[in-house]
Amino acid sequence: MTGISRTPDPPYYAVIFTSRRARRHEGYEAMADRMVELAREQPGFLGMESVREGALGITVSYWESTGAIEGWRRHVEHQEAQRRGREDWYEAYSVRVARVERARAFDREKE
Amino acid sequence: MTGISRTPDPPYYAVIFTSRRARRHEGYEAMADRMVELAREQPGFLGMESVREGALGITVSYWESTGAIEGWRRHVEHQEAQRRGREDWYEAYSVRVARVERARAFDREKE
């Protein structure tokens, strides 16, 4: 679980990853933590929001450009995590790449 | 909590709503259920994915066009829910409107 990301003004990009985890998930938590840590180090990374409720999870990561997303997708360690995800950890998932065009935020403490 | 939405081929639009709920949340669950029900009836609605983990929630809804999103944003009952959300239910939230450009899905049963 993360917080709400502070992102710059649009446009930027979002990767919406929705997943249903398999019952068998040895090694999943360590991988998930490692992927968050690694994603934060990538060029063009802007933020990440992630929530899991039982089997269902939504992770949205934010990026400066589609090139940054492509770089992350092809990262060797991330490729290995993707492979293990398909083989072991996920029953199903969807990945959507979207261009953020408008954004607004509300924070009670700042009103 | 929902499942993974089956959406048509891109392009289409996503509204990414990330929220941190306040401690006080009488009436929240009933409103949230009602908003899901109502959103599904709106023209141009394509799907919704929603997960909550403690205070933090992510809801992504999918729409045919920005016009459909605008219609939903202005819906009278939804406007009232937004007002109560700011007054009572949320400490903070962000709303991002994004154009989905690419999507892929994995389903173990279909591989």
Q: pLDDT (tens digit, 9 = 90+) per residue, B72-111?
A: 999 999 999 999 999 999 999 999 999 999 999 999 888 7
Q: How far apart are CA A58 and CA B49, in angstroms?
A: 8
Assess contact for B10 and B101: CB atoms under 8 A: yes
Indicate yes or no: CB of B60 within 8 angstroms of CB of A16: yes
Check whether B1 has a pLDDT greater than 60.
no
Assess contact for B92 and A94: CB atoms under 8 A: no
B18 in contact with A at a CB cutoff of 8 Å?
yes
Predicted TM-score (pTM) of this structure: 0.95
Chain A CB contacts of B105 under 8 Å are 92-95
Could you give the angle at the alpha carbon of B47 between the alpha carbons of B45 and B49, nearest 5°? 140
User: Per residue in A67-79, pLDDT tens?
Assistant: 999 999 999 999 9
Indicate yes or no: CB of B98 within 8 angstroms of CB of A93: no
Indicate yes or no: CB of A99 within 8 angstroms of CB of B94: no
Q: Which residue has the tokens 């983990």?
A: B53
User: Per residue in A23-58, pLDDT tens?
Assistant: 877 888 899 999 999 999 999 999 999 999 999 999
Got the DSSP string for A74-95? H-HHHHHHHHHIIIIIEEEEEE
Q: How far apart are CA B95 and CA A26, in angstroms?
A: 34
Q: Say how many C-beta atoms besides its own lie within 10 A of residue B71's C-beta.
A: 16
Of B76, B107, B64, B95, which Cα lies nearest the Cα of A7?
Answer: B95
A24 in contact with B at a CB cutoff of 8 Å?
no
Check whether B21 has a pLDDT greater than 70.
yes
